[in-house]
Structure 1
Amino acid sequence: MMRPVVAKALRAAARPHLTTATASRSALVFTRQNHAHQETFEQFSERYVTFFQNAEDLFEVQRGLNNCFAHDLVPSLQVVDAAVRAARRVNDYSTAVRIFEGIREKVENVTQYQAYLQESKGLREELGISTREELFPNSS
């Protein structure tokens, strides 16, 4: 048995006519659902830099990394910098190393990966972070 309030709402939804206020709200909802917001690379980078700067624990850092690396692009050096600093701030060295492993998987070739490593050399030295290749030179 349906509650009277639910039954009344279902009957109202079945009516073919809408008031002006209801129609405008329906149009607003329709618009939000059918027009996806396209984010530029700069907006993407800014959003994740801000996210990592505000991350307070390891769970948030790892969640942000999962979301960031799920996109079909390679994060900018600013995002990598913020993510590595966040990993070190929450005192998780292994996550900081894994960020560079993620970069290695996302780039198209070894040359691009080497360019990322070269650009982040100062950051890695400042925070004392080694890459997997430096930690395990004989592994493939």
Structure 2
Amino acid sequence: MSASILRAAARGPSSFLRANVVAARPQPMAARAVIATPSFSTTARMRSEHQEETFEEFSARYEKEFDAVQDVFELQRNLNNAFAYDLVPSPSVVSAALRAARRVNDFPTAVRIFEGIKAKVENKGQYAQYLEELKPLREELGIPLKEDLYPEEAK
């Protein structure tokens, strides 16, 4: 038995060893495609179950969510979600958020809502329109603007 192993070793690389070397070489892409190996890159994409919603549906959804707010965490989470979209929430959504801030007694967040609007609008004119439309509610709830609280920073 040991003599046959010595004879195989003395002959040099056998056809068995050559077959293994050939198999270890990189294969062209066409040959690799035939071998189906599961990996993370070939898994099916996750599809969202949500459909595109209109601005009116978005506004109605967030008005409902702000009406259901029971604590500061929910208020701030809903505000973060509402302001994360590539749009400015409607005045009705802002109104619902301000009423929710008053309901949970969160004065700083109420003031910050207007800072969020100022950051989201495209120009000062749009911000002025929001302020004009929400002025009665701001006065009713006693919510000043940051510009009113810190006039030296408003420059």
Measured against the shorter chain, the TM-score band is 0.7 to 0.9
Q: SS where residue 138 of structure 1 aligns? A: helix
Alignment of 1:62-81 (within 5 A): 62-81=76-95
**In structure 2, distance between residues paired with 1:116 and 1:136:** 20
Q: 1:34 offset after TM fit, Å? A: 5.6
**In structure 1, distance between residues paired with 2:136 and 2:48:** 44
Instruction: Decide which of 136, 139, 149 is 1:122's aligned counterpart.
Output: 136
What is the RMSD of the two structures over their aligned residues, measured on CA atoms? 1.5
The reply on whether 1:104 has 2:118 as its aligned counterpart is: yes
Matched residue, 1:55: 69
**In structure 1, distance between residues paired with 2:134 and 2:48:** 40
Go from structure 1 to structure 2 and tell me whether the alpha carbon gap of 1:97 and 1:46 turns closer, same or farther (over 3 Å shift).
same
Go from structure 1 to structure 2 and tell me whether the alpha carbon gap of 1:65 and 1:34 turns closer, same or farther (over 3 Å shift).
closer
Give the TM-score of the pair, scaled to structure 1: 0.75
Runs of 4+ in 1 over 2 A off after TM superposition: 32-36
The reply on whether 1:137 has 2:151 as its aligned counterpart is: yes
Larger C-alpha radius of gyration, 1 or 2?
A: 2
**In structure 1, distance between residues paired with 2:99 and 2:138:** 10
Higher RCO, 1 vs 2 (CA within 8 Å, ≥6 residues apart): 1
Q: SS where residue 153 of structure 2 aligns? A: coil
Q: SS where residue 79 of structure 2 aligns? A: helix
Q: 1:33 offset after TM fit, Å? A: 2.4
Instruction: Percent identity, please.
Output: 59
Structure 1: state its 5+ residue gaps. 1-29
